[in-house]
Every structure is written in C-alpha cells, then in structure tokens.
Structure 1
C-alpha cells in the first residue's frame, strides 16, 4: 500500500506566502481555520479529524482507496448480483409514473416534476419525497412532456411529446461507443455498459451540484449551485477543484482570489488533487499516487446505531453557496427516515458567502438566521422585488459639483457614516496609516473621484462605486458621499415678478385711456392675445421636454432644428446600425465635430423610456466608452449626439485597411474593449448588457484609443432588465448560444460576443468569411483547431507563439457554450494583461456541435 501522509490544519493558524497571481484564498482566510467543521449535528460523534485521531482511520482510508480507484473509469462495472439491468429498446415517458430504479429502491432515474414541466435526473427516494442529486442538461428549460429512449443503437436519448414528423432525438449521454445495457446502481450512479460489461458513461462522471458516496470531483471540474431547491439550473455559485490543487468557492463568473470566499488551503502543494466522499461520510482529497491525503471531515456513526439502520451521505453545493454534508438515515423496521446536516462550509453565517447581496449593498442576518440585504445611505434597490440585485444612487452622481449663481438647484455634498461592516477592498488610493478617521472622511469629501472612504485597522482607502461583497458585522467604517439637491424657489423673485406685472398693467391701462381710443385698444389686445396663443402652442412641447430632461446632468438638450442645421440636413452619413443612421455634424457655436445618431425604432412609451435610459447613459463615464454629449427629445424625434471619432471603426481597421495593424496595437485595442465592458458589467450602479459587441461598434479616436459605441441602447428596445428572456438581438456570428435556446440573457452574452471579436482582432479575419467545404466555419472553432494541432501560426503571422496561444485561449474561454464557464470581463482584462494565468480551455461552443 502506498504511504499515506495526513496533514491537518484544524486548530492551527499558519501564515502562508501566496505567490503572485496564483488562485488563492483572499486575506479573510488568514484569520480563519480551513477544512475543519464549523457546524455539525452531534458534537460527540460527528467531528473534524485532528492529528491525534489518525490511528483510528487507516482501515477507513484503505477501504476507500480500494473502493474508489480514482483513475479507473470502469470502477462502477462491478455488477451486483441484485442489479437490475435495463435492456436496449426500453423507454419511459412523462405520461406515467415510470422510472428506472436501483435494486434497493433508494435511487431512481427518469423524469421528475420541475415547475410546470419535467426534467431528467437521478433522485434519492426519501419516503414519499425525492431529493434530486443529478440533472441532465440542467440549464435547459423543463419540457411539457417527453420520453426517455434507450434505443437499439445503444444511445440514451430523449424526445418531446407529442412527437411530430422529424422531431429531434436529443442525447443524454455522450459516449461514442454504443451501449449494450444500462443500470441504476445502488450507489446512485446511473451507468451505461458496453458488451463486456464495462462502464462507458455514468452520471458520476458529470456531477452537477452533488457528490454521492464513491463519487469524485476531479481536477478542473466544478459543482454549480442551483437557482433554488426546486430549480437545478446554474445558480450564483461555483465550487471549483482547481488545477493548482485548491478547492475554492466563488460567485459564478469570477475567478480572481478577491471573490473567493472559502478554500481548502491546498493550493501550495503543487498537486492535482481529487475530492471524494466515501460511504462512511469522510470528505477527503488525494493525489493521483495517493501519497498525499487531506481529510476535510469524517462523520462517525451515531451513538444510537443499530443493525436496522442504513445511512446514505451526500455532499451538496446548495443554492445559497454553502457546501453541506447531509446524512439520510433509513430504518428497516418502518420508522420514518431522517435527514441531518453533518457539516457545512464556509459556516452557519450565510453572509460569509460573497455575492448574497449585489453591488452597493450589504448582507446581514435576521433574527431567524435568514439573509437580508440593505442599501448604503442615499441608495435604492435596483429592483424592489429582488433586493439581492444590489443598489444604485437615488440621485445622479456629479463628481465635483460646482454651483453657480444662475443655477436653479443647489447641490450639497456630505459624508454619511456606516459602521461595523466588511467589504471587498478595491481602492484607487491608500493613505498612510497615520491618517485619522476624521481626516479620512475629509480627504474623500474633497476628492472628485472618491465615492466612498473606508477606514479599517488604522488604514484609510478611497473607493469608487460600485463596492461589493458587503456584510455585517465587521471592523470597517464607511463614509459614503451623499448629494442633496435643493430647488431654489426665491420669494424675492416671485415678488419682483408680481411687482413687474403690476407696473405693466398700470402702464398699459394709462396708455389705453390717454393715447388710444377704445376700439383701437381692443383690436391691439386681440392681436396680442392671438400671437401669445400661437407662441405657447409652438413652444409647449419644447418646454415640456426641458422640464422632463432638465435633470440629465452634464448633457446638452438640442432642438431638432439645431441638429438639422448642424448635420446640413442629415446629409453626410457615417454609418447605419441596429438602432438607426449616424450622421456627421458640426456644432455652430463651438465648431465641434459631432456624430448624431437618429433612432429609428423605439419601445412603447418611448418618451419616458428614452429619458430614463439617457439618464443611465449620461452617468457612464469611462475612457473606453463613446461619450454622449447631448440629445434631442422633441415631438417624434429621438436623437443622440456623440463625440466624433475620426479614425472610424475597428472593422475598417481590421478588414478594410491595406496593412494589418501591429500586434501591440491589436492587443491594446482588445484590452481597451475589455475594460470598457468590465465597466458596463460591474463598475456602474446598474449593469448594462450591450447585446451587440462587434468590430463595427468599436470606434477609434485620434489617439488610437478604442471606445465602445451603442452601449445602453439595447435597453431602449428590450426594457429595464439585466437578465431577461427576449427575442434575438445582435448580429449573426456574434450571438451567444443562449439567444437561440430561449435562455436567460446576462452579461455573459456580451462575453461570448467579445470572444468572437477578440479572435477577429487577433487574426484580422472576419468570422463570417471563413469557409470549410463551402460552409461557414466559426472562427473560434478554427482558432481552437489551429492551436490544438500546433498550427498557431495560421492564426497570426510574426507573433510570439506563446503570446499568440495565450490570447487565442482567452478567446476560447469567452466562447464557451455554458455562460457560467465564461469568465467575467474583469478576469478577461487581467488575462490579456498577463496578470493571471490562462489555462487550457475546453472546446468552444461551436466545436462539439460541428463534430455531431
């Protein structure tokens, strides 16, 4: 037997030196234990293992190693004498209560109710209820009806019912070898066998949110939490067994260490470790040679154990982002089964999970232990129905606001204190440790860029919005910058107006009686009244628009006539996009070149929607976003006025220039766009999904800086949602797979489009122009094959191969079929910068489809 080295950190605190840019725990972990139980059911019988109890477990580990055989994919081939085999030609459907059961009756495979439809999965039978432990195609919507068919060709498939001519058979298993039989094992593993009774596919190989006894989570694999206890689609959290040997919990879509909220601290071993759960309730990690073992927890038998008792363990990554070990105790003498939580991490305080509450809000526990989200002072929930989405400022931000004597509103800036919280720190400035708490507040107040000052452990830092992962309690004091708007309604002005009107009336009356006859005076008054009515009718819409739009800080409100003159009757067309035509113009009073977008399509309730979204766009200020200068909202006219970009679009630079831009320039442009999208997705108070990222919507200024155009405009058409089901929007060739699958659209749809565009930037080839055998050839598929077969030089000439492969891999990560597999734009920017390592990605979304 190989030597087993057991290492425990229970009860100890060691400060480790983290290598830069490694996937590692955030600083929180330095003051917390790792791997030990933070809560368990029976303190006398269920406990973490420490070094003093090592002698109790050699037999447990030995049996576990024999049972698991982690590198043998045919482990489950050992057929029980009581195993019930499923033969070719078998089927089950939703119109009955049929399912394929294990011989013990504890597990079953088939259709289970999911909302108003059905999904396919494996469940543990507990009395009259079921606990789902695996789901097929878990991100697909439930079906109204269907059948599971184990066909004579050896494929496990499903179809919808009622069937129609040409209706599609959809795969459940992906084995290339035809199956000869199948079985639902007593372990909870549903397997397909070949003719030699070897396992060729199993549900254990593709865990979703649960590990059962005997099941492994191998390096590079992960568990995804569900949306809720009844909805097993991809939720908010990911438990990843990283290639560096560390088991880490993250919010979905993040891979940076600052977003991690729990880890096993095994990253420094340099080993590929496998996570496993054994039948005795032991959670442990081991390397391929079994020369290193770390036991996370072991559940001893209960003190009231009896021969009629049977215990099943499952390790589930629950929708709240907490990993729990459950024990299900069954009794043979008719007693009702029981379910208990034996162990959980990161702990019973659910606010320790990062991402429970959205940006600019913090998590705290209610008296019942439930999580609740609260906004920072001066902020409101993005959605009153979903407080977990985060908050944004109730009033517009203004940086440094300077009032003038002519302003009709006064803006007062103050700092509001929030005590006893903890946040992810992402400062742009850290002040010396000698800074007092009062000086910290005042320094932020006087800094135009500072939104929030954080004071913790005698350190002061300045932060920009948004801030994330807030929770109570903590040792950080916040000072939040608050803007108060006050309308000046001067009594003196009203008095002056009344006095002037009185004088005017007296003067007119005197003139009438002294200079004009009554008839002439009457005629003059009638004419004057008619002119006044005409003037009011002509100017009323404009005044109304000014009243509505006057709160859009920093933007100029143009009349349609002004823009008609500026563009010379909309004579010089710059381009046409999904939202309308763009024309070049010159502002007469400043001689400034402008680009005027004339919107052609508007949602219902267009004026109010237009004003609301223009306010959102007006609050976005970033180096890599095209700046909005003004707008026109007059009658039926909706126009946006932007800064003019003399160097045109990225599409012209890549596809229509005589020479390709230098490699360094292409990388700089890719980084510019990544940073712009990062800002739109995560650094403003309400995320903006662009919906149409492509080279035509990236403009280049006179300094060669790339700027994203048309951001925010998709909301004018699809409503105020950042995760929504909607009709397809965007451009063919750049659309993420979820657009065509009626799945929720999130910022990850932009990440996919960016990945396609990045590969175009790298290769200077347009995706839709690639052909193979006369058919369109997706650029991500082409680039992936070039790298995999050692032909990276085909993607781009004259570029360092390691640098080229790294950039291509970033593009492949962005074009993964599963949104949860795509990195956040912040991570993409760090990858391009070289700040974090880029691992070898799985095939892109289109690659597996092209092989079928």
Structure 2
C-alpha cells in the first residue's frame, strides 16, 4: 500500500513540474531563468522545439527556439521590445489559470494569457494554451515576431519585424507586412506604408478584395486567396519528400526561406527576397548609401557628412560642417561648394521638383536655395532634398544618366607663388612701420599717463552715480530679477493709459523705460490670491531666472502694499488667441505645427529643465504671445506654482481658466505638472483646427465640443473634417490629434510627460491609439 502511494505521488510530481516528454503542461508547472533554463524548458513531443527562458547576454527572454545539432535558432519571443528579464525570474502556469512572468521580488508581473487549463508545445513550433473545453485561448502563431513556421499564416494587417541581431531579439530595423489591400510588402521599420518606403512587394493588388494571407506548409511558401483558399502566388514550392520549412526576416532586411532535411540538419536557404542586400532601403541609415564589397554590403557617407559611429556604419552619417546664415532669403553661395556624384538615386519624396534641361541649372538652383542640401538630376528633372536624406542608392545600370550634387563647405585655396613673393617683399617694410608706430605710441602713452588717474576716477564716480540714478533694463536685470516701486511703473505706463489686453487676474499695459528706448508690458494683478510677501517675492525671483526662447521673459515685479505688478518683455504680434480666433488671415498649416512645437518646448523647460520645477497652471491661447519673428512664447506666470526639486505634487487652490482646467482641479486632490499637459492638449486641438474648444455656432451638434468631435473624427478616419478644405499633411495631422487626445486623458497618470509629447510631435516616437476623452 505504501509503495502504491509513493508511486502515485511521484507520478503527480512529474505531471505538475515536468514536461520531459513534450506532453500537456498542467497547472502549477513553472520554469526559472537560470543556467539550466535552456536545458529544462517545455519541449515539444519530438524535442524539436522548446519553450522557456533563453539567454540574451547576461539576461533572459521568454522564447521558442528550434533545437538541433546544427544551431539553436530562436523563432519567437514574448514582449520583444521590453528589456530582457533578470536571472531567477519565474515563468509559471498558475493554479488560477494564468501564464505569468514574475520577478524574484514579485514586481512587474506580466500575464501572457488567462483562463488557461492546460498548455502544450507543439511539434510545428506553436505554443498553445487551452481552456477546460479544449478551446484555444492563446497561441504563439497569433503573435509572430520575425519568423513563420510550418502551418503558420500571416493575415491582413499582421507583420513580421526583424530582430536587432542573431543574439539580440529586440525589434530591429525592418518589417514585412501582409497588407489589407492584398499586397505583401517590405518596409523599414517606423515608416508609413507608402510607395517611397517599400523596397519589395508581391504585386498582388488585383486581389485586394480577397483578404489574402501568407501561408507556409510542408510544400513551400505561398500567397492564398482568403475567399476561396486558392493559391494566388507561389514564392517557393517543391514536389519532393516533405521537409521542414522556416521563413525569417533577417536583421539585414532580407526575407529568407530555410529548409531542414531533419531535426538535426543545418538549415539551407532555398529562396530569398530581395536578392541584392543593397536594395534594402535604410540598410545604411540616413545620409549614406550601400555598395557591394565582395558581395557584402558596405556603407558610404554622402559628400558633406561623416559616420555617426565608425563601429556601427548602419547608423548613418551626419553633416560635418556648420551651415551659414541665409542672406535676404537666399543662400550664402560664397560659403558653399557643390560636389557632384554619378550613379546615385534618391527614392524619397523631394520637397521641390521641376523640369530643368541643363545640369548646371539644377546645381546652381540648389546652391542658392537655403533649404536645399542635395539635388538629383535625371531625364531633364531636377529634384531638391533637405538633410537628412534617406533611401539613397547606387545605380549600376547607366550610372552616367544619374547625376547628383551635394552642398559642402568651400575649401580656401592656397596662396599662389606670386602671392608668396608679394608677401616676402612686403614683410621687409612691415617691421620698419611697426617700429615707427611703436615709438609714436610710447610717446603718446607717456604724455597721456599723467591724466589717466584723474579721468579714471571721475569716470568711475560718474558711472556709479548713473547706476544709482537709473533703475532701467540693463546688465543687472540679466543677472537678477528687478524689483520696482509702484511709482516707477505708473510713470513708465503713463498712468496705466495704454491697455494691451486683460485676463481673469488683471490687465496688461504698454510702457517704456529710458525715454521710450526699451518697450515693456506691465501686468497689474487685480484678483491676487492671499499669499505672503515673502512667498510672492521668492516665487518671482525663481521665475525671473527662467531663460528659454519659448518663454516670455519676466523682467521684474512690484510688491508694494496691496499692489502686485509683473513686468514682461514686450511682444509686438499679440496673442495666439488673436491669430486663431480673431484674425482675418489665419496661420497656415506649417506655422501652426511650429507653434505647437514652440509651446511644447516651453512647457518642457518649465517642467523638467528648471532647477525648481514650475507648474504654469494657466496654459491657454491668450497666454501664448508672438514675438517679432512670430515665435510662440508662453507668458503670464502670475498663477504659476513652484515645486521643490524632489517634489512631484502639491496642494493649491484652483488656478486657471475654465475650459482648460484638468479634471483633478475639481477633485481636491494634489495637482502635478500633468494639469499643464491637459491644458496643452486643449490648446493643441484648438491650434490644429483654428477654433475654440467650445463653439456654439456650428452646423452639427457633435461639433460643439472640439475635443469630443476630434475623437469622433479620429475614430471614423475623417480627420480631414477638422481642417476643412485646407491642404495639410495628413500623417502630421493624425500625429498631432493623437497627441492632443492623449494629453486630455481623464487620468493624470495616463497623460504623457512633456518630454514624450515633444518626441511624439517631432515624429521620433510612435503613438498608441488614444482612448475616448471622458471629462470633456
């Protein structure tokens, strides 16, 4: 009886803790990331595939790999863009039916799947989890990374993304996408699905209504019609005995099909696209192009640029000189020299294209154009481009028909032999002239020395008196915030005579110092909150030290009795509200995009780049002013709240303007810099659409609240309605709208930081689909 009980317990232990024979993985089974993780994973029945922790450097990733004597090949990874996990991390199929990756400390747990009753690692490389009805609740085939395996399909909208390298399984630089239109296309990663970025396609547009999918089985790789399961196109097929196939998008951007004679054989490449590695766009990065060196790709920088890092040439190149300033809208062509190259072609979209019959005209037009960095001439067409350049390639067929010009810095010519002779002859006379001048200067110095002490004393005494006499804008104000008396500011504004504007907390008047030579703007606060004299002065001193091109400079203040006044630099072109809501001539699309970036950079400086973080509390178009060059600058720090260097939240009474207030102002909870981000989101949407967030006089009821209408247009794919008939860049419009919707999220924690906002606006980081705004 005892022996039977012991046998039963051993059987239970094997079932719940092991998967040695590739059978069903039961609840309670777990793996630990350590040196044994690759020798004790969850195997398939044939021991050909394994699921578990695979090493990546000194860390581990949850992966599926092909096990054979030739090489170990990772074919799938979980969370490829997340950092690898540390040793002793646990992968467990819990008794609650969840497959969980958890650290040793129990922090940052990741649930891969739920409602699981059992799991199995299949012989085709698919890891499948079932519920208690044996229905599939999760399988790795639904979440492909860089590879396809036997029996796997790639449906419309899905894509494979290459790994960084053979030992780094994070997302790399290339992707192959099965598009909804039925076409299978390869692109560089982080690009639009457009013709300019594609470097290979299956060319199956005519089947765009059939919902094609890519399928890999034991006879090869093919494109299938989703409506009737007919084969549209064979990429590779064989009539030989059944073999094992694997299709992988490599880190070099080439899609290859491998086969294995058996589980212990090394893979053999039987098909690949593209055939030439240099046809892969972005293989060499920005400002460079690819050439073949012994059939291997080698990167070359364009003229006027050098490699960012010689050890990683595929990172691209950067300009190796500083551009000169433009003169009257035209390039300083004496500063530049145009270098010509044959056999280069740029496959990106130019910013300018025109018919030009002579190559010299194309070259000279780029030389005189401030924006132009390179020009490409072919078939009587001249195309101009700005740096950075992408998708430049070498053309080997008829290279002389492709001519390109690159703007580089002019090299000063060496002196000719005639110049040298003239310099030699003149040098003999020079020392005599120097001697005479030195004697005269010495005599003059001796005569004037007797008067020096007297004049120096008088001059310094006079200068000191002028500094005491004048309290105007000068060097002192560049170093410290100026404190003015009420009498001085009343005189400077001629008794607060010329009003520039008004807000909820005061009016702004035009004034001047130094006999009208320096124009200022004085804000007289009328509804000042009850703050102590010491706190008001301390906050003004801190705000006065802010220096940024997108902040209106606070020059001084007055705190005398009940009077509170703020002195700002004068902004000649009014407010953003005037330009958006009241001007006959609205800013064009590129100007509005630049204004959005200017405001975001100003807020980023206040939040993250000041020694003392500042919450503005009243971001709105009326507080964004335009200088002489139409640069947007944030103003009105009368409501700003300072944080300590190590402080992220604070309590304060409600500050700001209705319509731009974040929801947390009404909840009596601590506020953070996220209130400014909410206000910026509203301002961003208003800037995009040139209308107020709340507009009653509209043709459709759903357009009354701009933020709600913007989300509906985004959800329906009708963003063009937001800008009417104006011609705008739709990709930029979508990016700005998504940023605005994320900024006005009801929960402060889900709003991006201002640094993330700037990166998203510049198109550097990708933007997830925003949720529907609730509070607006």
Give TM-score, length-normalised by structure 2.
0.60
Question: 1:567 touches 1:585 (CA, 8 Å); kept in 2?
Answer: no
- Give the counterpart of 2:64 among 113, 119, 122: 122
- Going from structure 1 to structure 2, the CA distance change for 1:130 and 1:511 (only over 3 Å counts) comes to closer
Deviations 1:598-656 (A, max 9, x none): 9999xxxxxxxx9xxx9xx9xxxxxxxx7999xxxxxxxxxxx9994744467x999xx
Q: How many Å separate the matches in 2 of 1:704 and 1:453? A: 33
Deviations 1:125-167 (A, max 9, x none): 122742111111111101112111111111111100144xxx3
Question: 2:626 touches 2:633 (CA, 8 Å); kept in 1?
Answer: no
| 1:228 alignment counterpart | 165
In the alignment, structure 1 residue 264 sits paired with structure 2 residue 239: no
Question: 1:781 touches 1:846 (CA, 8 Å); kept in 2?
Answer: no
| 1:254 alignment counterpart | 191
- Going from structure 1 to structure 2, the CA distance change for 1:431 and 1:807 (only over 3 Å counts) comes to closer
Deviations 1:564-590 (A, max 9, x none): 799999999x9xxxxxxxxx9999999
| 2:307 alignment counterpart | 381
How far apart are 1:482 and its partner, in Å?
Answer: 2.4
In the alignment, structure 1 residue 215 sits paired with structure 2 residue 160: no
- Give the counterpart of 1:170 among 106, 110, 119: 110
Q: How many Å separate the matches in 2 of 1:357 and 1:204? A: 31
Secondary structure of the equivalent of 1:85?
coil
| 1:85 alignment counterpart | 24
- Going from structure 1 to structure 2, the CA distance change for 1:760 and 1:342 (only over 3 Å counts) comes to farther
Deviations 1:30-76 (A, max 9, x none): xxxxxxxxxxxxxxxxxxxxxxxxxxxxxxxxxxxxxxxxxxxxxxx
| 2:272 alignment counterpart | 344
- Give the counterpart of 1:503 among 437, 443, 460: 437
| 1:8 alignment counterpart | none
Question: 2:258 touches 2:268 (CA, 8 Å); kept in 1?
Answer: yes
Question: 1:566 touches 1:588 (CA, 8 Å); kept in 2?
Answer: no
Q: How many Å separate the matches in 1 of 2:140 and 2:408? A: 53
| 1:451 alignment counterpart | 373
Secondary structure of the equivalent of 2:252?
coil
- Going from structure 1 to structure 2, the CA distance change for 1:144 and 1:427 (only over 3 Å counts) comes to closer
| 1:288 alignment counterpart | 226
Secondary structure of the equivalent of 1:111?
strand
- Going from structure 1 to structure 2, the CA distance change for 1:271 and 1:162 (only over 3 Å counts) comes to same
- Give the counterpart of 1:311 among 243, 252, 256: 243
Deviations 1:309-346 (A, max 9, x none): x7321111222222111213326xxxx51211121112
Question: 1:107 touches 1:188 (CA, 8 Å); kept in 2?
Answer: yes
Secondary structure of the equivalent of 2:267?
strand
Secondary structure of the equivalent of 2:362?
helix
In the alignment, structure 1 residue 430 sits paired with structure 2 residue 373: no
Secondary structure of the equivalent of 2:209?
coil
Q: How many Å separate the matches in 1 of 2:519 and 2:184? A: 54
How far apart are 1:398 and its partner, in Å?
Answer: 2.6
Deviations 1:176-201 (A, max 9, x none): xx111111111111011111212111
Q: How many Å separate the matches in 2 of 1:232 and 1:337? A: 23
In the alignment, structure 1 residue 414 sits paired with structure 2 residue 337: yes
Q: How many Å separate the matches in 1 of 2:759 and 2:205? A: 21
In the alignment, structure 1 residue 161 sits paired with structure 2 residue 104: yes
Question: 1:678 touches 1:825 (CA, 8 Å); kept in 2?
Answer: yes
Q: How many Å separate the matches in 2 of 1:324 and 1:755? A: 48
Aligned Cα root-mean-square deviation (Å): 6.3
Deviations 1:96-125 (A, max 9, x none): 333111001111111110122111011111
Q: How many Å separate the matches in 2 of 1:706 and 1:323? A: 49
- Give the counterpart of 1:477 among 397, 403, 413: 403
Question: 1:669 touches 1:705 (CA, 8 Å); kept in 2?
Answer: no
| 2:43 alignment counterpart | 101
Deviations 1:247-291 (A, max 9, x none): 222222221321111111123433253433332252222233226
Secondary structure of the equivalent of 1:258?
coil
In the alignment, structure 1 residue 390 sits paired with structure 2 residue 330: no
Secondary structure of the equivalent of 1:338?
coil
| 1:191 alignment counterpart | 128
- Give the counterpart of 2:285 among 328, 346, 358: 358
Which deviates more from structure 2 when the two are superposed, residues 500-509 or residues 585-594? 585-594
In the alignment, structure 1 residue 440 sits paired with structure 2 residue 366: no
Secondary structure of the equivalent of 2:296?
coil
Secondary structure of the equivalent of 1:195?
coil
Q: How many Å separate the matches in 2 of 1:359 and 1:698? A: 40
- Going from structure 1 to structure 2, the CA distance change for 1:477 and 1:676 (only over 3 Å counts) comes to farther
Q: How many Å separate the matches in 2 of 1:698 and 1:252? A: 40
Alignment of 1:699-718 (within 5 A): none
Higher CA-based Rg: 2
Question: 1:627 touches 1:643 (CA, 8 Å); kept in 2?
Answer: no
Comparing both chains, which one has the higher relative contact order based on Cα–Cα distances under 8 Å and sequence gaps of 6 or more?
1
How far apart are 1:702 and its partner, in Å?
Answer: 6.2
How far apart are 1:168 and its partner, in Å?
Answer: 4.6
Q: How many Å separate the matches in 1 of 2:409 and 2:370? A: 12
Question: 1:250 touches 1:260 (CA, 8 Å); kept in 2?
Answer: yes
Uncovered stretches (5+) of structure 2, i.e. residues with no partner: 1-20, 459-472, 494-499, 501-509, 522-539, 554-567, 600-606, 610-615, 635-647, 649-660, 663-676, 695-705, 743-749
| 1:180 alignment counterpart | 117
In the alignment, structure 1 residue 466 sits paired with structure 2 residue 388: yes
Which deviates more from structure 2 when the two are superposed, residues 148-157 or residues 82-91? 82-91
- Going from structure 1 to structure 2, the CA distance change for 1:422 and 1:294 (only over 3 Å counts) comes to same
Q: How many Å separate the matches in 1 of 2:321 and 2:717? A: 54
| 2:462 alignment counterpart | none
Q: How many Å separate the matches in 1 of 2:372 and 2:42? A: 61
Question: 2:575 touches 2:626 (CA, 8 Å); kept in 1?
Answer: no
What is the aligned length? Answer: 595
Secondary structure of the equivalent of 1:330?
coil
Deviations 1:495-554 (A, max 9, x none): 879836733524644996xxx8xxxx98779999999xxxxxxxxxxxxxxxxxxxxxxx
How far apart are 1:386 and its partner, in Å?
Answer: 3.7
Secondary structure of the equivalent of 2:174?
strand
Q: How many Å separate the matches in 1 of 2:150 and 2:427? A: 80
Q: How many Å separate the matches in 2 of 1:569 and 1:396? A: 43
Q: How many Å separate the matches in 1 of 2:207 and 2:155? A: 16
Secondary structure of the equivalent of 2:67?
strand
Give TM-score, length-normalised by structure 1.
0.56
| 1:371 alignment counterpart | 298
- Going from structure 1 to structure 2, the CA distance change for 1:707 and 1:318 (only over 3 Å counts) comes to farther
How far apart are 1:429 and its partner, in Å?
Answer: 3.6
How far apart are 1:422 and its partner, in Å?
Answer: 1.7
| 1:275 alignment counterpart | 213
- Going from structure 1 to structure 2, the CA distance change for 1:91 and 1:423 (only over 3 Å counts) comes to same
| 1:844 alignment counterpart | 769
Question: 2:481 touches 2:541 (CA, 8 Å); kept in 1?
Answer: no
- Going from structure 1 to structure 2, the CA distance change for 1:254 and 1:700 (only over 3 Å counts) comes to farther
Q: How many Å separate the matches in 2 of 1:338 and 1:285? A: 26
Question: 1:243 touches 1:272 (CA, 8 Å); kept in 2?
Answer: no
Uncovered stretches (5+) of structure 1, i.e. residues with no partner: 1-81, 403-408, 532-557, 575-583, 602-609, 618-625, 630-640, 655-659, 681-689, 711-727, 734-749, 767-778, 829-840
- Going from structure 1 to structure 2, the CA distance change for 1:670 and 1:436 (only over 3 Å counts) comes to closer
